Chain A
Amino acid sequence: MSDTQKPKSTEVVTKALVRALDMPMGAGVLGLITLDNGRDHTRPSTFGPEGLASLNQAITDAAALPGVTAIAVTGKPFIFAVGADLSTFENALDIEMIKSFAKLGHDVMRRLGELSVPTFAFVNGAALGGGMEVALHCTYRTVSTGAQGLGLPEVMLGIVPGWGGAYLLPRLIGPAKALDVIITNPLSQNRLLSPRDMIKLGIADAAFEPADFLEQSISWAAQVVRGSIVPERIDIDEKNWDAIVDGYRAALEDKIHDATPAPYRALELVKAARTNSRDQGFDAEDIVLSNLVMGDEQRASLYSFNLVQKRAKKPFGAPDKSLARSVNKVGIVGAGLMASQLALLFAQRLQVPVVMSDLDQARVDKGLGFVRAEVAALQAKGRLNGDKANRLLGLISGTTNMADFADTQFVLEAVFEDPQVKAKVFADLETVVSAECILATNTSSLSVSAMASSLAHPERVVGFHFFNPVAKMPLLEIARAEKTDDESLATAFAVGKNLKKTCVLVADAPAFIVNRLLIRQLSEITKCLDEGARPEVIENALNPMGVPMPPFELMELVGVGVSHHVLESMHQAFPDRFHSSPNIKQFADSGVTTFTMQDAAGKKTLDPAVFANLVQGDTVFSEEQVRTRVLEGLAEEARIMLDEGVVAEPQDIDLCMIMGTGMPFWLGGLTPYLDRTGTSERVTGNRFLDVGVASVPR
């Protein structure tokens, strides 16, 4: 292919190394190709143009070996191959270049399925995307029972398995299972396959333990060559093929509402795979792939992927981690549900003693009871063995005496959201803990600086905002208050990292990032409602974005009372941007807890009875008008947050929206979508991100 588009290659080239091996049982010569980029397993082997050229040469060389009866492909330790070099797409400016890269991959890999000798993939480790496709092109596959990282995650990145995967997989295992692997898994937090799945699905023919995986694979291949083993192939139900794919499309439609093209293109390729010839199937993949790469959804997906893979690991603006102080005992003030969950999380992840306190023994006992029940539940699920459970329970204690916090280095308060109560907790703590002990607050909306203002050592106070449920939600907003010093902030980041959370630095501003944006969305929605928008119109308004949850369902999850409360408090702070809604007040006051009804199939619809007493204006809204209002509100709010320095860069807003609310990759979190819909420029006069950062460069 021409590489005129890229002035300088940065490809870490995966070399395909060929060796001739004598197979046992007189099965002849095996041409064994090892894929190895010369780095250790932390830089898995990927394919760029040079790597593909090397594989091409290796296949030629292996096929020319004297006496060759079979060809096999395997990888360096722990890694088979993990697909295309993503930088090839990031830098791509030209559809023809992408198309020729896609075609090059096909031209090379398809040879593994078109030789006169059988080919084997010995999947010794991670095989993702194009790596898995190399395996699919082979006649047979073995998999190591120790292999981790198996799957076709392309759709998550806004593309399709475009080096043969979308054509070959359904023909190997049938359309239903192939759609699960190609679409459902990538859209379910990128679920991967286990080696057992590979066997169960019929993708791999045999599995061997890692200790002598290659020896056993070669011996197995020898038996296949000799004919003493005949691998079984799944009988594919061709008659129902189209019906299966169409049924799947309907389910997909319900979930993502056409918000991004990749899963639909994948679906179409799978559907056509039944009748397409190899040439037709592979050509179709080239066309689909190159069109997708030239779409903003794909670029936003790649941007999201990089945020989650890279930025999430190196919090932007966090002080040097060498400043962090060590934490070997933690205090949690409060023994309510949230506090108990936090105590368990700290004990599990930090493996240090955690003491919980509350006002009286009954509450403490209730909190400890919750911890014990949770630990028992984890044990019952097989997630903890008895020894680990004992260790955890031994780490967590309860007290009513603040003096028991004296030797802690990090105290998190999770008491009622009241500034006076929280300030008093900190003041009391300060009389027992050391001057360096971090005082962290899990407040979601109160001023951290105000809480610290009357302390002798306000420099050790930080905001430490978790999302519910704390064990599951990966985001942690760490707020720097007015006087917070670098050591304390570094310690907070170190603790957050050890908790395995994605930490984002925010300024001490009302509701920080995620909640502020969600409340702004709530504000826009309730305003539309109050002005006359029909509830169903609102509920469907964000569907074209493919958001994880429609507005009323989200409000239900957060809690109607809580939603009303936070909206009101933001209204107090910023009355011109945050709406005070009489209808929401009415819902909260009348004790509404749910807006939806569920039918037998589990499908949720709005319950008309709940909305019977709406007091509305008479403006008619279309779904698009509601959506526009929401997006404009979000764009305005995001711009203000950046201007005020609540958050350093749009990238952190996007990372927060992905990790904190599950916003899909194709939206890029938030700001790439606001940019590509023109909302940012219309509302704020500017884009959030330069063209090309999370969109197709021009």
Chain B
Amino acid sequence: MARTGTPKTLSNVVFVDGARTPFAKAGSLYSETRADDLVVKVMRELLRRNPQVPAERIDDVAIAAATQTGDQGMNIGRSASLLAGIPNSVPGYSIDRWCAGAMTAVTTLSGAIMSGAYELAIAGGVEHMTHHPMGEGVDPNPRYLAERIVSQDALLMGNTAENLHDRYPHITKERADAFAVGSQEKTAKAYANGLLQPDLVPVAVRSAENGWGLVTVDEVPRAGTSMEGLASLRTPFRPHGRVTAGNSSALTDGATAAILASESLADELGLSKKMRMVGFAFAGVEPEFMGVGPVPSTEKALAKAGLSISDIDLFEVNEAFAVQVLAFLDHFGIADDDPRVNPMGGAIAVGHPLASSGIRLMNNLARDFEMNPKAQFGITTMCIGLGMGGTVIWENTSSDSDSGATA
């Protein structure tokens, strides 16, 4: 008789818990702290906060970084797992999809959980933009330009943002600045209400000059940012351009991590279930217009999930650039100040440590869900360098209408 092994069943994936370091400006608080230490501290705190998670039962650890050398190299997934004190028997790997690294760590592990290959996993991301400035060590193939595979603009993200303003002239600099002011205000308010702090893992930081310190809050936000203030900023990517440091995300150091599990294991172990994954999609666009990536990825994800944009109650859109969020909102007919969008602000205020941001969006969405029990579905979406977008659709487990399982 032929041997068939265990029959496969599809599993729901739940987001058990997520956390992150406070985000710091590049060249600032984390300058003397290693990137791997940042993500390790988040992983350890997550396991401490979730003592029912049996570390030895973690099927895999996937950690993302956009630049995988130095303190983000040596297979950061495996290395961080060992440094975190997770048992040797637990494997680990590294993920790279530039800004969507942590998001891809989540979706890749979730794919394995859905198929029944895995039951429990840790996803994470880290980007130490002080130690690894954007473009460090890149060596683009000369064919890119010689054969016009991409335009020269495609490799500098600020230029792709200016290109979006060209494509959508109705997205003016004023709209972008107003969105940025809103992001700062919403973040300040979320801080005032204590909504962001629970996700933060304090990080002890060494300074040879000042001694040890402790980072407990995001360093990047600039509360009180005004339109007037933003209007005066220079446009580094183009003379008389529209993209400024004020309406873009800052260069940032930070790390994130999350625990994912099959819903059945979560129930068996009594793990928290903050959200349930509905589906995900990634999609490509012209590299020089990379900011528009979330549009096709969201459409694709919705179509695959059998949902429409009107079913989505909450949006966590990564704010790499205000213009790119506005292009997304315009496409779906959502107002710039729609309260469903980034209710606690976004990357323009807190910063965007590239490969780690995907899980920050998820942490925020989990909090948004908790605050909005009437909401059923939400998405996390982000644009990705070299012309891509990624979208994950989630279901609110604290929703009034949550039945326990939809798949």
A21 an interface residue at 8 Å Cβ cutoff? Answer: yes
B206 engages A21 (CB within 8 Å): no
Residues in B whose Cβ lies below 8 Å from that of A77: 206
**Contact segment of B40-48, B94-102, B258-266, B340-348:** B40-48
Given that A77-B206, A218-B202 are known contacts, is A211 also in contact with B212, CB under 8 Å in the complex?
Answer: no
A21 engages B213 (CB within 8 Å): yes
Residues in A whose Cβ lies below 8 Å from that of B210: 17, 19
Given that A77-B206, A214-B204, A215-B202 are known contacts, is A209 also in contact with B213, CB under 8 Å in the complex?
Answer: no
A211 engages B83 (CB within 8 Å): yes
B204 engages A212 (CB within 8 Å): yes
Residues in B whose Cβ lies below 8 Å from that of A459: none
A22 to B214, CA, bound (A): 8
Residue of B nearest to A22 (CB): B216
Residues in B whose Cβ lies below 8 Å from that of A548: none
Residues in B whose Cβ lies below 8 Å from that of A33: 211
Residues in A whose Cβ lies below 8 Å from that of B204: 212, 214-215, 218
A24 an interface residue at 8 Å Cβ cutoff? Answer: yes
B208 an interface residue at 8 Å Cβ cutoff? Answer: yes
Residues in B whose Cβ lies below 8 Å from that of A211: 37, 40-41, 44, 83-85
Q: How many residues of A contact B (CB 8 A)?
A: 21
A38 an interface residue at 8 Å Cβ cutoff? Answer: yes
Residues in A whose Cβ lies below 8 Å from that of B45: 212
Given that A211-B84, A218-B204 are known contacts, is A19 also in contact with B213, CB under 8 Å in the complex?
Answer: yes
Instruction: For B203, give its contact among A18, A34, A215 (CB under 8 Å).
Output: A215
Residues in A whose Cβ lies below 8 Å from that of B203: 215
Residues in B whose Cβ lies below 8 Å from that of A212: 40-41, 44-45, 204
A21 to B216, CA, bound (A): 9
A286 to B40, CA, bound (A): 46
B212 CB, min distance to chain A CBs, angstroms: 5
Convert A1-39 into 0s and 1s, putting 1 for each residue whose CB lies closer than 8 angstroms to a CB of B: 000000000000000011101101000000011101010
A24 engages B208 (CB within 8 Å): no
B83 engages A214 (CB within 8 Å): no
Instruction: For A214, give its contact among B40, B209, B212 (CB under 8 Å).
Output: B212
Interface residues on B, range: 20 to 34
Q: Tell me the A209-263 residues at the B interface (CB within 8 Å).
A: 209, 211-212, 214-215, 218-219
B218 CB, min distance to chain A CBs, angstroms: 14
A18 CB, min distance to chain B CBs, angstroms: 7
Given that A214-B204, A215-B41, A215-B204 are known contacts, is A209 also in contact with B212, CB under 8 Å in the complex?
Answer: no
B211 engages A36 (CB within 8 Å): yes
Q: Tell me the B28-42 residues at the A interface (CB within 8 Å).
A: 37, 40-41
A74 an interface residue at 8 Å Cβ cutoff? Answer: yes
A19 engages B211 (CB within 8 Å): yes
A24 engages B212 (CB within 8 Å): no
| A-B CB contacts (within 8 Å), total count | 55
A74 engages B216 (CB within 8 Å): no
B46 CB, min distance to chain A CBs, angstroms: 12
Residues in B whose Cβ lies below 8 Å from that of A209: 85
A36 to B211, CA, bound (A): 8
A34 engages B212 (CB within 8 Å): yes
Of the candidates B45, B201, B210, B214, the one having the most CB atoms from chain A within 10 angstroms of its own CB is B214
A326 CB, min distance to chain B CBs, angstroms: 30
A77 to B206, CA, bound (A): 9
Q: Tell me the B158-216 residues at the A interface (CB within 8 Å).
A: 201-204, 206, 208-214, 216
Of the candidates A32, A74, A214, A219, the one having the most CB atoms from chain B within 10 angstroms of its own CB is A214
Residues in B whose Cβ lies below 8 Å from that of A38: 208
Given that A215-B41, A215-B202 are known contacts, is A17 also in contact with B211, CB under 8 Å in the complex?
Answer: yes
B217 CB, min distance to chain A CBs, angstroms: 9
Residues in A whose Cβ lies below 8 Å from that of B209: 17
Residue of A nearest to B43 (CB): A211
A218 engages B214 (CB within 8 Å): yes
A209 to B83, CA, bound (A): 11
Convert B39-83 into 0s and 1s, putting 1 for each residue whose CB lies closer than 8 angstroms to a CB of A: 011001100000000000000000000000000000000000001
A18 engages B211 (CB within 8 Å): yes
A215 to B44, CA, bound (A): 11
Residue of A nearest to B216 (CB): A22
Residues in A whose Cβ lies below 8 Å from that of B41: 211-212, 215
Residues in A whose Cβ lies below 8 Å from that of B40: 211-212
A616 CB, min distance to chain B CBs, angstroms: 69
A449 to B318, CA, bound (A): 81
A24 engages B202 (CB within 8 Å): yes
A214 to B85, CA, bound (A): 16
Q: Tell me the A418-464 residues at the B interface (CB within 8 Å).
A: none
Of the candidates B45, B201, B202, B216, the one having the most CB atoms from chain A within 10 angstroms of its own CB is B202
A212 to B208, CA, bound (A): 18
Convert A466-495 into 0s and 1s, putting 1 for each residue whose CB lies closer than 8 angstroms to a CB of B: 000000000000000000000000000000
A403 to B157, CA, bound (A): 70
A398 to B210, CA, bound (A): 60
Residue of B nearest to A24 (CB): B202
A74 engages B44 (CB within 8 Å): no
Residues in A whose Cβ lies below 8 Å from that of B212: 19, 32, 34, 74, 214
A77 to B212, CA, bound (A): 10
B208 engages A36 (CB within 8 Å): yes
Q: Tell me the A75-93 residues at the B interface (CB within 8 Å).
A: 76-77
Residues in A whose Cβ lies below 8 Å from that of B44: 211-212
Instruction: For A24, give its contact among B84, B206, B216 (CB under 8 Å).
Output: B216
A106 CB, min distance to chain B CBs, angstroms: 24
Residues in B whose Cβ lies below 8 Å from that of A34: 206, 211-212
Given that A211-B41, A211-B83, A218-B202 are known contacts, is A21 also in contact with B214, CB under 8 Å in the complex?
Answer: yes
Residue of B nearest to A74 (CB): B212
A38 to B207, CA, bound (A): 11
Residues in B whose Cβ lies below 8 Å from that of A74: 212
Of the candidates A212, A218, A219, the one having the most CB atoms from chain B within 10 angstroms of its own CB is A212
Residue of B nearest to A72 (CB): B212
A38 to B212, CA, bound (A): 13
Residues in A whose Cβ lies below 8 Å from that of B206: 34, 76-77
Residues in A whose Cβ lies below 8 Å from that of B208: 36, 38, 76
A485 to B40, CA, bound (A): 54
Residues in B whose Cβ lies below 8 Å from that of A76: 206, 208
Residues in A whose Cβ lies below 8 Å from that of B216: 22, 24
A27 CB, min distance to chain B CBs, angstroms: 12
A611 CB, min distance to chain B CBs, angstroms: 62
A74 to B84, CA, bound (A): 22
A209 to B40, CA, bound (A): 13
Convert B200-238 into 0s and 1s, putting 1 for each residue whose CB lies closer than 8 angstroms to a CB of A: 011110101111111010000000000000000000000
A19 to B206, CA, bound (A): 11
Q: Tell me the A481-537 residues at the B interface (CB within 8 Å).
A: none
A219 to B49, CA, bound (A): 14
Residue of A nearest to B32 (CB): A77
B296 CB, min distance to chain A CBs, angstroms: 41
A33 to B214, CA, bound (A): 12
B281 CB, min distance to chain A CBs, angstroms: 36
A96 CB, min distance to chain B CBs, angstroms: 34
Convert B7-21 into 0s and 1s, putting 1 for each residue whose CB lies closer than 8 angstroms to a CB of A: 000000000000000
A17 to B211, CA, bound (A): 5
Residues in B whose Cβ lies below 8 Å from that of A36: 208, 211
Residues in B whose Cβ lies below 8 Å from that of A219: 202
Residues in B whose Cβ lies below 8 Å from that of A17: 209-211
Residues in A whose Cβ lies below 8 Å from that of B85: 209, 211
10 examples of A-B residue contacts, CB within 8 angstroms:
A19-B210, A36-B208, A74-B212, A209-B85, A211-B44, A212-B204, A214-B204, A215-B41, A215-B202, A218-B214
Q: Which 7 A-B pairs have the closest CB atoms?
A: A34-B211, A17-B211, A214-B204, A21-B214, A34-B212, A19-B213, A215-B204
Known: A74-B212, A76-B208, A215-B204. 19 other contacts (CB 8 A): A19-B210, A19-B211, A24-B216, A32-B211, A36-B208, A36-B211, A77-B206, A211-B40, A211-B85, A212-B40, A212-B44, A212-B45, A214-B204, A215-B41, A215-B202, A215-B203, A218-B202, A218-B204, A218-B214
